[in-house]
Amino acid sequence: MEFQKYHGTGNDFILIHEIPNNPNQLAKSICDRHFGIGADGLIYASPSQIADIKFNYYNSDGSIAPMCGNGMRCFVKYLKDNDLIAKNEFMVETLAGLVSVCYNTETKHIKIGLGQPKFDLDTPDVNPPIKSLEEQSIAYEGQIIRFYVVNLGTLHTIVFVNDSIDINQIGPYLSSIPLFPNLSNINFVEIVDQNILKVTTYERGAGWTLSCGTGVSASAVVSYQLKKTKQDVNIIVPGGKLKVYVQKQVFLEGPAVRIATGDYEVSNEKI
């Protein structure tokens, strides 16, 4: 099976040209970093009735996700690299709704429109429902962890960090508390100044990643809403730098790089 591997600020993905019969299983095997090629997720295109093309995303644990910001940038670069679409601005169908994309031929950066954040969360993903952007808290190891919850493409939890918390323990714990029956992506945010955030993310379905596109965008939205930052912010992640514009809708802009092209031996099961 032909594949191409991309990364967006260190969040890496396998892109395949065909529509797999069992995407959940394929994602688990092809994304395995020892028995497979290795990546945070699997992406493939399919036809759309409502947009130019449809974006399909699966985490490395095989779970499906409605949207992936870094993955969307890599998807656009893949489409352009392989001459699968002529336009540089087009619409993409996702399970989270329509996403506008714009490929800059000069900088090779991609800007995507993530729509508006949802703070009224009465969905199967949040129980009991959260009705607005209000501080949540939970006790953990004698500490109180304070956080906010927002849906921007997918479900995100925002924790403003200080020196006293150990994010390595708290990330996995907070991701799977009863409030999140289907887990949550956990973003640990450091406010550098009104224009710069540092974000580290523990992702549902992938664990710690070097970057989370919808996560940094959700972090920028909550920081702006809480008057901690301006509308347009630079975000430093372990895998690089991204830009988020909090306008009527939220835009994420950044690079996407093809790492490799190859052939995956599908028959290789774990021996």
Would you tell me which residues interact with ligand API (CB under 6 A)? 11, 59, 65, 68-71, 154, 185, 203-206, 212-215
Tell me how far apart the alpha carbons of residues 150 and 152 are, in angstroms, rounded to a whole number.
6
Can you list the alpha helix ranges (DSSP code H) found in 144-210?
Answer: 167-175
Q: How many other C-beta atoms lie within 10 A of the C-beta of residue 75?
A: 29
Pairing of strands 185-193, 250-254: unpaired
User: Which is closer to ligand API, CB of 124 or CB of 142?
Assistant: 124
Find where tokens 């967006």 sit.
8
**Residue 69 assigned as binding residue:** yes
Comparing CA positions, the residue from 132, 143, 110 lying closest to residue 226 is: 132
Q: How far is the CB of 228 from ligand API (least distance, A)?
A: 21
**Residue 10 assigned as binding residue:** no
User: Which is closer to ligand API, CB of 80 or CB of 156?
Assistant: 156
**Residues 65/98/130/125 CA torsion (nearest 10 deg):** -20
Q: How far is the CB of 143 from ligand API (least distance, A)?
A: 25
Active site residue 31: no
Tell me how far apart the alpha carbons of residues 207 and 219 are, in angstroms, rounded to a whole number.
18
Return the sign of the alpha-carbon dihedral for residues 102, 52, 8, 237.
positive
**Active-site entry in 31, 68, 74, 102:** 68
Active site residue 102: no
**Active-site entry in 31, 74, 102, 212:** 212
**Residue 73 assigned as binding residue:** no
User: Which is closer to ligand API, CB of 8 or CB of 36?
Assistant: 8
User: Which is closer to ligand API, CB of 57 or CB of 103?
Assistant: 57
Residue stretches of the annotated binding site? 11, 59, 69-70, 185, 203-204, 213-214
Residue stretches of the annotated binding site for substrate? 11, 59, 69-70, 185, 203-204, 213-214
The residues that are catalytic are 68, 212
